[in-house]
A and B are shown apart, each in its own frame.
Chain A
Amino acid sequence: AQTVTQSQPEMSVQEAETVTLSCTYDTSESDYYLFWYKQPPSRQMILVIRQEAYKQQNATENRFSVNFQKAAKSFSLKISDSQLGDAAMYFCAYRATLYGGATNKLIFGTGTLLAVQP
């Protein structure tokens, strides 16, 4: 069964600094997607970034980028120039594609609570 592990329950970063959130996953599938979601306090869950497993190039969205290491099954999120609005719970998630009868479920990690210090 697929699993997603986030080993950092909490992280803290100074405003304008860079922080990296870790995520590892376990799967026997070769084709899948990985996601980072952000959930600010008492606010809606939003998609931060998406990575397709068959693409070697790391995804980037403005200040957010990932380090995708497929062989190591690692998918970390780097936030550059951290802002106060980045403070949130961050969830790493995995989704196999539908080929081969894979489940349609999004598998979430336990989350990392990021605090941004002014």
Chain B
Amino acid sequence: SAVISQKPSRDICQRGTSLTIQCQVDSQVTMMFWYRQQPGQSLTLIATANQGSEATYESGFVIDKFPISRPNLTFSTLTVSNMSPEDSSIYLCSVEGRLYEQYFGPGTRLTVT
């Protein structure tokens, strides 16, 4: 298994600003994933981040809005840019284990006012 931490755990931001979420893993992993989850709903994949290459974004998500960095095998950041109230959500990072299971961070609860 993997232990994942995220910072910040929650934040309240004003519209038009940006927030960078950090994800730290206790072991080296190839792929990291970023998800968005509305309370009480399922997870929506934003992008897959491989170390040393550009992140792969899902339909409906673009790099200008959600830039991702992956500087090494244990760390990644997701930035939510030019925020609007529609960006209020929980953002989770995850990593994949040896048998394709994923381990999730505790999430970042973002509120945009």
Contact = CB atoms under 8 A, between A and B. Distances in A.
Interface of A: 33, 35, 43-47, 50, 52, 89, 91, 95, 97, 104-106, 108-111, 113
A35 B42 contact: no
Contacts of B104: 44-46
B53 interface: no
A44 B106 contact: yes
Contacts of B42: 91, 108-111
B103 interface: yes
A44 B107 contact: yes
Given A89-B40, A104-B48, A108-B42, A33 B101 contact: yes
Interface residues of B, number: 20
A108 B43 contact: yes
Given A97-B100, A105-B45, A106-B45, 14 more contacts: A33-B101, A35-B101, A44-B107, A45-B104, A47-B103, A91-B42, A91-B43, A95-B100, A104-B48, A104-B96, A106-B33, A108-B43, A110-B41, A113-B40
Nearest to B45: A105
